[in-house]
């Protein structure tokens, strides 16, 4: 390391300016080639995000770094360059939207998190049973229905087209957002095509013949623990986090121990032959979870009046306010705003926003175009409708 005290800061900055000038020329040349990539993907229908290709680019270029102390920083720069390239590809390809009359579920591969008896399973069953084009009697035996242990696995299956449509919880009315869901949608080729609000009624379930006095261990999802915290605070039970409420029911049924109980819905009791120990143990009676219907196709269904985006403001004073004022300028009603940390960017955030509108509207198009110009990142997650479903209990 050069420790010469006679270093001239002005001359050092001249060298940096010269390198920056060369970098700008190279980046401009790279983006011109990226434009050709975008045209190819548009013609062939290939997806913009290719995770394996990105890993390959990073790995290949890190081998070229002579000073290995710089690997971490060069990796961050490479990832920033690729993120910018993806944004530019989206801009050049444009929004390829398919407008349809109704949600088409016929012959589609469908997925949810958990196992039969989970709330996501209930939502999926009700979506299917409310669809007039399907045979209600054979829905639960549908071979095109798949379950996944985690939200990540579900989103990955939609992203890689192993399934066509998934049911993903996004937010609870009591404890707030399901933390990983927005992040997962944002990083994959996923589109929100519908929303369902499902009432959540938690129950304490045990194995056959058990009583509350027998219980020592409670199994459930962390959201269920939070939503039932007042009831749980009255007991000295050991809480064991599971990936899903219904999976916890399946687990205690398999273990067959009277000291184990779970928090889940009544459907879980029926599916796994459990005992109802205490009904409706939510902190609040009015307990709802929003579920997104996600797809690998960018579909907008008739009646869609809600749009979800993620964006990131420039790191300067008033930048976020400037973005939010765009909604006021175009008369758009913003109904939700949340911040989420950016991966590998300490103390930097992106913003998840829901607002009312339809992508075919001129004022929506103008607002999004202005937002793209004033932000350093913009991703449209979907334009969708809220489904008010008739609830089927069986």
Task: Identify whether the C-beta of residue 276 lies closer than 8 Å to the C-beta of residue 253.
Answer: no
Mean pLDDT throughout 294-299?
89
CATH number for the region 203-278 comes to 3.40.190.10
Assess whether pLDDT exceeds 50 at residue 208: yes
> Mean per-residue pLDDT for 115-132?
87
Q: Which pLDDT score, from 0 to 100, does residue 4 have?
A: 57
> Is 54 among the annotated ligand-binding positions?
yes
- Which region among 29-43, 57-71, 132-146 has the lowest average model confidence (pLDDT)? 132-146
- What mean pLDDT is reported for the chain? 86
Q: Residues 180-195: what's their mean pLDDT?
A: 85
Whether 87 shows a pLDDT value over 90: the answer reads no
Question: How many Å apart are CA 216 and CA 72, to the nearest integer?
Answer: 47
Q: Is 197 a known ligand-binding residue?
A: no
Please report the pLDDT score of residue 315 as a whole number. 72
Identify the CATH number of the domain defined by range 9-93.
1.20.59.10
The answer to whether residue 198 scores a pLDDT higher than 80 is yes
pLDDT more than 70, % of the chain = 89
Structure-token pair, residue 75: 């990796």
Which range has highest mean pLDDT (27-41, 107-121, 126-140, 163-177)? 107-121
Q: What is the dihedral of CA 103, 104, 110, 113, to 10 degrees?
A: 0
| Residue 340 confidence (pLDDT) | 83
pLDDT in tens, 318-369: 888 999 999 999 999 999 998 888 766 667 788 999 999 998 899 999 999 8
Pick the residue with more confidence: 304 or 40? 304
* Residue 2's pLDDT band (cuts 50, 70, 90): low
| Arithmetic mean of pLDDT, 56-83 | 89
The reply, when asked if residue 85 is annotated as ligand binding, is yes
CA–CA distance, 78 with 71 (Å, rounded to integer): 10
pLDDT of 22 strictly over 80: yes
Q: Which residues, 6 or more positions from 388, have their beta carbon under 8 angstroms from its beta carbon?
A: none
Q: Is the pLDDT of residue 140 over 80?
A: no
pLDDT score at 1: 47
Whether 89 has a binding-site annotation, put simply, is yes
Is the pLDDT higher at 3 or at 90? 90
Give me the mean pLDDT over the 290-315 stretch.
89
Q: Please give the distance of CA 301 from its chain centroid, rounded to a whole number.
A: 20
Domain ranges of the chain: 9-93, 100-199+289-387, 203-278
Res 3: pLDDT: 52
The pLDDT of residue 393: 45
Q: Kindly tell me if the per-residue pLDDT of 230 is higher than 70.
A: yes
Distance (Å, whole) CA 215 – CA 260: 6
pLDDT interval class at 305 (50, 70, 90):
very high
Helix (H, G, I), strand (E, B) or coil at 120: helix
pTM of the model: 0.77
Answer for the pair 207, 177: CB distance below 8 angstroms, yes or no: no
% of the chain beyond a pLDDT of 90? 45
- Give the SS3 label for residue 210: coil
Give the lowest-confidence range in 112-116, 127-131, 151-155, 178-182: 178-182
- What is the arithmetic mean of pLDDT over 24-41? 85
Across 212-237, average pLDDT = 94
Query: What is the helix, strand, coil percentage profile of the chain, to 5?
Result: 40, 25, 35
Q: Is 195 assigned to a binding site?
A: no
132 or 289, which is more confident: 289
Residue 249 · residue 94 · CB < 8 Å: no
Q: Known binder of ligand: residue 50? A: yes
Q: Which of 89-93, 178-182, 193-197 has the lowest mean pLDDT?
A: 89-93
* Higher-pLDDT residue of 154, 348: 154
Query: Quick one: average pLDDT of 259-278?
Result: 95
In 205-316, where does DSSP find H-type helix?
222-227, 229-232, 245-255, 266-272
Give me the residues paired with residue 276 across strands.
205
Q: Is 179 annotated as a binding residue?
A: no
Q: Which pLDDT belongs to residue 99?
A: 62
Sign of CA dihedral 41, 86, 148, 137: negative
**Better-scored residue on pLDDT, 172 or 1:** 172
Fold classification of 100-199+289-387 (topology level)? Alpha-Beta Plaits (3.30.70)
Contact (CB, 8 A) for 89 and 37: yes
């Amino acid at each position: 390391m050069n420790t010469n005290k006679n270093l001239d800061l002005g001359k050092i900055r001249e060298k940096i300016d010269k390198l920056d000038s060369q970098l700008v020329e190279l980046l401009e040349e790279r983006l011109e080639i990226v434009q050709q990539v975008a045209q190819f993907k548009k013609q062939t229908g290939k997806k913009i995000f290719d995770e394996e290709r990105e890993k390959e680019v990073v790995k290949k270029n890190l081998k070229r770094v002579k000073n290995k102390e710089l690997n971490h920083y060069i990796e961050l720069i490479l990832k920033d360059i690729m993120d910018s390239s993806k944004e530019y590809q989206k801009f050049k390809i444009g929004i390829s939207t398919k407008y349809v009359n109704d949600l088409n579920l016929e012959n589609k591969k469908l997925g949810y998190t958990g196992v039969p008896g989970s709330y996501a399973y209930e939502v999926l069953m009700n979506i299917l049973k409310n669809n007039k084009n399907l045979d209600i009697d054979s829905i639960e035996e549908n071979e095109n229905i798949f379950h996944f242990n985690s939200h990540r696995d579900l989103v990955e299956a939609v992203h890689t087209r192993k399934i066509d449509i998934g049911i993903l919880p996004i937010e609870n009315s009591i404890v707030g957002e399901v933390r990983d869901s927005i992040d997962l949608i944002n990083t994959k080729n996923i589109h929100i095509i519908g929303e369902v609000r499902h009432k959540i009624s938690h129950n304490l379930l045990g194995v056959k013949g058990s009583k509350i006095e027998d219980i020592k261990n409670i199994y459930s999802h962390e959201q269920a623990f939070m939503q039932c915290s007042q009831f749980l605070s009255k007991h000295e039970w050991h809480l064991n986090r599971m990936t899903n409420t219904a999976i916890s029911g399946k687990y205690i049924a398999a273990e067959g121990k009277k000291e184990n109980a779970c928090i889940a819905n009544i459907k879980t009791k029926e599916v796994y032959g459990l005992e109802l120990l205490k009904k409706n143990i939510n902190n609040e009676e009015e307990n709802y979870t929003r579920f997104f219907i996600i797809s690998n196709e960018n579909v907008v269904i008739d009646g869609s009046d809600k749009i979800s985006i993620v964006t990131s403001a420039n790191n300067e004073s008033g930048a976020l306010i400037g973005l939010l004022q765009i909604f006021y300028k175009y008369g758009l009603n913003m109904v939700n705003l949340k911040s989420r940390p950016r991966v590998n960017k300490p103390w930097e955030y992106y913003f998840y926003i829901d607002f009312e509108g339809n992508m075919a509207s001129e004022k929506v198009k103008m607002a999004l175009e202005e937002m793209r110009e004033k932000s350093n990142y913009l991703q449209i997650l979907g334009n969708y409708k809220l489904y008010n479903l008739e609830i089927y209990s069986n």
